[in-house]
Amino acid sequence: MARYVIRRLIATIPTILGVTIVVFMFLRLIPGDPAIAMLGEHATEENVSRVREQFGLNRPTFLDREALKQGDFKGFINTQYFIYLGRLLRGDLGDSIHRRIPVAATLMQRFPATMELAFFSMFVAIIIGVPVGIISAARRNSILDSTTMVGSLIGVSMPIFWLGVMLIMLFAVILQWLPAGGRLSSSVEFTPTTNFYLIDSLLTFNIPAFVDSFQHIILPAIALATIPMAVTARMTRSSMLDVMQEDYVRTARAKGVTERLVLYRHALKNAFLPIITIIGLQFGLLLAGAVLTETIFSWPGIGKWVYDSILARDYPIVQGGTLLIALIFVLINLLVDVSYAYLDPRIHYD
Amino acid sequence: MEQPLLEIKDLRVTFHTDDGTVHAVNGVSYKLEKGEVLGIVGESGCGKSVHALSIMRLISIPPGRIDSGEVLFYGKDLLKLEFEELRQVRGGQIAMVFQDPMTSLNPAYTVGFQIMEALTVHKKLDQNQARDRSAELLSLVGIPDARRRLDDYPHQFSGGMRQRAMIAMALSCEPSLLIADEPTTALDVTIQAQIVDLVKRLQRDYGMAVMWITHDLGVVAELAHKINVMYAGYIIERGHVKDIFKRTRHPYTLGLLGSLPRLDEAPGTKLVSIPGLPPDLVALPKGCPFVARCTYVTDSCLESMPPLENVGDRDHLVACWNWAAIAEGAA
Amino acid sequence: MPTLTPASIMIERKMTKTTQSDIATIDYAVREHRSLWVDAWRRLVSSRTAQAGLFIVSFLILTTVLAHFFWEYNPKTDLDYTLKLKPPTLIPNEEVPSVHIFGTDKLGRDIFRRVVHGGWNTLMVGIIAVTISLVIGGLLGLLAGFFESIEMTRLEKILLLVFLGGLMGFLPAWIAEQPVQIVLFALLGGAAAMFENFLAGRSARVVLFAAVGLLIGGGLALFVSPYTAIVTGLLGGLIGAALSLQLGGSLFSNITMRAMDIVLAFPSYLLAIAIVAFLGTGLEKGMVAIGIVSIPVFARLVRSSVLSVVQKEYILAAQSVGEGHGRIIFRHIFPNVLSPITVQTTLGIGSAILAAAALGFLGLGAVPPEPEWGAMLGDSYKYLSSGAWWAVVFPGVAIMLIVLGFNLLGDGLRDALDPKMKV
């Protein structure tokens, strides 16, 4: 098992390298001079050269064949990409163009906010989506089944930014039950330690802060959880229906096992592989969706920062944020693969 | 007369599909005594498996539907039983072995767990007792090193071993009836013989009744006491093994026997095959369903389905208008 | 005692009563012959979900297309500050002298009109993005799946290695500024495939090809600079060694699918957002970005469908009667992977529309004043607090409806095309 995990980890290295190349190449997509594009037409000479320096824009993109001709092997690979890669390995994502602060530090500081929202939403999506899917499958073609299936289809078709806006309108503007945005009301006294507000406030018994941050997370979490919930419910249902046609389910029934155990023991364990895959995929989509949700709900996470930076043309931040989310996604896919080994005894990993 | 172990009365089962209503079982009635081995023979699609699954209400509803009939097991109608009571019968008093051992065991659990499950459901044994008993059962069905193999997953077993494990699972609660639904069809010929011998031995030792469903008359010849021959959802001939083989009265059974290769025939003798295909179960003809393939057709055959009538001195039933003529031809 | 007669005589005798066709219906399961696709179509139109999907999709397409061609609209001149943010008005009054069933937006434009015209952009996005991913992804997946499981012919192998040799040769050729190297490495690849039995499985083969590669890579580069020659020579040696190995179809599949993995490492439209963020705003750029991002979805789907079809015995049968690969792909494999592709295409249009709307909402899609639903939403949602719900609700409902329509249709198609679910 350990060997399998290590092998799998090694196998992700080419993917990660590919991801860094893609993220690096973003800059090449900018029409014209990237430095001017970032700083605007009226940039000072000093600023332009600073940015050029930061990105190594004076160097060739991948390899310097002129340096090689002179026998300068170090110069041969002292190029934009390898400079970028070298910095990445040191955890340096460059500096923000406008604010001149290191991107990595700010990303780390904002990371918990995004994760808190993502985990919370995924949790909601799973604890509702999976049971609903199971029940729908068990009562196939019942009214309950068709209702949830139509409901989930609408959920899948929902533009989440629109849903978010509608939720704000209903619950924050009209009913005024819940706050429209942010993570915490300014009136609440709270100094977070890890930046996971819900956990921090709970651990320090700061109940007002916990309640307040809980109220803040509800609306964005609903918006973000809608699609994964619907997808999970649908996947669970179809996977369960597939499995329930299998001969071994009939065997279990013929054995006199209770219908409950037939469902939860014999069918569910076999139905779980595709469900886990879809949950992993949905988590990635959720992180992508965070750009929209965080923007609408002014949630101070990575997504909103990336969005603000797109508008401000602060490209190192967009690169850093995208890279971070892609890396998390790669990691989740790895976890999904590894969890297969635990669930399916037929898969051998050695 | 003593109450039979199982009595089926006028069982009718249909499936409702896009293409119409499939009449899978069309009024099947018979009795099965305690300790008796009954062979059920017919081509695929003749309703033999569906009728067996219906006994334990294991067909999927929908699209299936049990339209009418009674399945009396120790006098209780299984079709009307509360689900909880039925569950006690399933695996406890009636056990089943299925056709494909490759798919009939749950791939996600060990073989041992799946045998123990039956024991914990019906016998209320604790973990250790159940484990001991499972190991015993596995070695009883001829799996060497049984205790260690309890922790194997089904994919680590060969096809024959899986079918043995299925049989061990079925026997675990000492049922009074074992339904074996084509248990050897998916296996190699040599393994088939082993499984038949195994069931034969276990049937003697346990004194249980066995219903053996197959399309292979050869297998039931050495195993069964009585045989039901089914065609298009009807029982068309029923009787003791000897009667079926020696005093065959239905043209279809004759055809089945003719297509069986025999060692005592002169070399070069051609096997007889039954021409044509079974009828469409969606649109059954008005008369006898075998009419299009039969060489003995008369007017009445096209008009109506013949009833099962007793043609011998001991429970030999035939559904054919022309059985007497066939008897004469044979004699 | 009834008389015994063979059935044939019997039938002849009974001709008066029973006609020949009656006998035929008794004899065989004769039913009306239906092709797979006719059958699927019948199931499709008889399913509630598909009916709803078909209705929504065709209604929206119809109105959009009609509006595009017969209802003139110039977004550049459309504005009227006197009618800023008016609620839906069905009966003209003093304040709002014209009918606006969906109200007006911040520039006083009629929202109904913009929603109807915005549909054209939305449809274009869906169709173009999916066409890009379908054609590229489908082709890659088809080839990857096919050559992963069926051995290449000699000719195909030569083509593959010529291509690979040229591709790999590009790097030393660029470094040494000697384009002719590309041709030489391509030839080396061809030679490796042509003489695949020469010293097969022996290390001498690897050494030989590595040496030739080294000569090609380093030799010419000597004229440029000795240092360059060292690097390109080493690269050439590596390329030669790689080409000497018995490379087959699984290599092609591997390379393709690893490339797909890289794109898949980005959660779907995040990559599209990033691409457009750098490329600059624009609907066309958005379409292309969304199309590229969804290539792996199709490639993976088609590959796995092909893999499962290739295992079927009818493919073996086709091979055993000596059918060529092209014929096997188009006659046997393609029709059998068509149904998952059809379903995914339908669903893909829906998700492309959603992604494009998201881009529009973020201000990265259609350039104002071009009407596009996502952009209309993004434009107006700041006015929600002043109560202008209509400017947000209607474009949103439009997006949801069309996506729902495609999803319903895709679902219905899945049920109709999957014979497994027939019961």
B279-294 pLDDT, tens digit per residue, is 788 878 788 888 878 8
**pLDDT of C10 over the 60 cut:** no
- Rounded CA-CA distance B191/C21 in Å is 47
**Partner A contacted by B103 (CB < 8 A):** yes
Interface of B with A in 122-141 (CB under 8 A): 122
Confidence band, pLDDT 50/70/90 cuts, at residue C290: very high
Q: What is the mean pLDDT of chain A?
A: 86
Instruction: State the nearest Cα–Cα gap between C6 and chain B, in angstroms.
Output: 5
Question: Using CB atoms, which chains have 3+ pairs under 8 A with B?
Answer: A, C
Q: Which of A240, A253, A255, A270 to mutate to test the interface with B (most CBs of B within 10 A)?
A: A255
Q: Which of B299, B301, B304, B326 to mutate to test the interface with C (most CBs of C within 10 A)?
A: B299
Q: Which residue has the higher pLDDT, C28 or B324?
A: B324
Of C7, C14, C27, Cβ closest to residue B295: C7
Q: Which of C26, C39, C43 to mutate to test the interface with B (most CBs of B within 10 A)?
A: C26
pLDDT score, position A348: 58
Q: Which of B15, B23, B280 to mutate to test the interface with C (most CBs of C within 10 A)?
A: B280
Chain A positions in Cβ-Cβ contact with residue C115 (cut-off 8 Å): none
DSSP 3-state percent helix, strand, coil across chain A (nearest 5): 75, 0, 25
Chain C positions in Cβ-Cβ contact with residue A14 (cut-off 8 Å): 258
Residue C126 lies in a domain: yes
Residue C50 lies in a domain: no
What is the mean pLDDT of the segment spanning A215-242? 92
What is the mean pLDDT of the segment spanning A83-109? 86
CATH of domain A103-343: 1.10.3720.10
pLDDT score, position B256: 82
pLDDT score, position C14: 36
**Residue B267, phi then psi, degrees to nearest 5:** -60, 145
Q: What is the mean pLDDT of chain B?
A: 84
Chain B positions in Cβ-Cβ contact with residue C418 (cut-off 8 Å): none
pLDDT score, position A232: 93
Are the CB atoms for C352 and C346 separated by under 8 Å?
no
Confidence band, pLDDT 50/70/90 cuts, at residue B265: low
pLDDT score, position A347: 66
Q: Which residue in B164, B100, B103, B173 sits closest to B138, CA to CA?
A: B164
pLDDT score, position C421: 43
**pLDDT of B106 over the 60 cut:** yes
Count of structural domains within chain C: 1
Of C2, C18, C422, Cβ closest to residue B298: C2
Residue C416 lies in a domain: yes
pLDDT score, position C241: 86
Which residue does chain A place closest to B99, by CA atoms?
Answer: A247
Which residue does chain C place closest to B324, by CA atoms?
Answer: C1
What is the mean pLDDT of the segment spanning C158-168? 87
Cβ separation of C28 and B296 shorter than 8 Å?
A: no
Interface of B with A in 177-206 (CB under 8 A): none
Which residue does chain A place closest to B91, by CA atoms?
Answer: A255
Q: Which of A23, A27, A29 to mutate to test the interface with C (most CBs of C within 10 A)?
A: A29
Interface of B with A in 43-72 (CB under 8 A): 56, 58, 60, 62
Confidence band, pLDDT 50/70/90 cuts, at residue B243: confident
pLDDT score, position A121: 94
- Rounded CA-CA distance A309/C348 in Å is 29
User: Which domain does C293 fall in, by range?
Assistant: 58-146+283-423
**pLDDT of C16 over the 80 cut:** no
- Rounded CA-CA distance C298/B13 in Å is 44
**pLDDT of A349 over the 60 cut:** no
What is the mean pLDDT of the segment spanning A2-21? 86
Pairing of the two strands B309-310 and B317-318: antiparallel
pLDDT score, position C8: 37
Chain B positions in Cβ-Cβ contact with residue A263 (cut-off 8 Å): none
**pLDDT of B47 over the 60 cut:** yes
Question: What tens digit of pLDDT does each residue of C236-278 get?
Answer: 888 888 888 867 677 788 888 888 988 888 887 788 888 888 8
Instruction: State the nearest Cα–Cα gap between C231 and chain B, in angstroms.
Output: 52
Q: What is the mean pLDDT of chain C?
A: 80
Query: CA–CA distance from A48 to each of A54, A66, A102 (Å)?
Result: 10, 25, 18
pLDDT score, position C27: 39
Determine whether A321 is exposed, middle or buried from the number of CB atoms within 10 Å of its CB (0-12, 13-18, 19+): buried
CATH code for position C105: 1.10.3720.10
- Rounded CA-CA distance A26/A23 in Å is 5
Cβ separation of A26 and C274 shorter than 8 Å?
A: yes
* Stated pTM of the model: 0.81
What is the mean pLDDT of the segment spanning A332-346? 80
Instruction: State the nearest Cα–Cα gap between B130 and chain A, in angstroms.
Output: 15
Interface of C with A in 278-307 (CB under 8 A): 278-280
Residue C177 lies in a domain: no
Chain A positions in Cβ-Cβ contact with residue C261 (cut-off 8 Å): 15, 18
Are the CB atoms for A173 and A181 separated by under 8 Å?
no
pLDDT score, position B124: 81
Residue C317 lies in a domain: yes
pLDDT score, position A334: 87
**pLDDT of A128 over the 90 cut:** yes
Confidence band, pLDDT 50/70/90 cuts, at residue C1: very low
Chain A positions in Cβ-Cβ contact with residue C357 (cut-off 8 Å): 159, 161
pLDDT score, position A20: 92
Q: Tell me the one-letter amino acid at C228.
A: T
Question: What tens digit of pLDDT does each residue of A258-295 get?
Answer: 888 888 888 988 888 888 888 888 888 888 888 889 98
Q: How many CA atoms lie within 13 A of C112 on its CB side?
A: 13
* For chain A, domain boundaries: 103-343
Chain C positions in Cβ-Cβ contact with residue A167 (cut-off 8 Å): none
Cβ separation of A27 and C275 shorter than 8 Å?
A: no
**pLDDT of C413 over the 50 cut:** yes
pLDDT score, position B330: 62
Which residue does chain A place closest to B106, by CA atoms?
Answer: A248
**pLDDT of A120 over the 90 cut:** yes
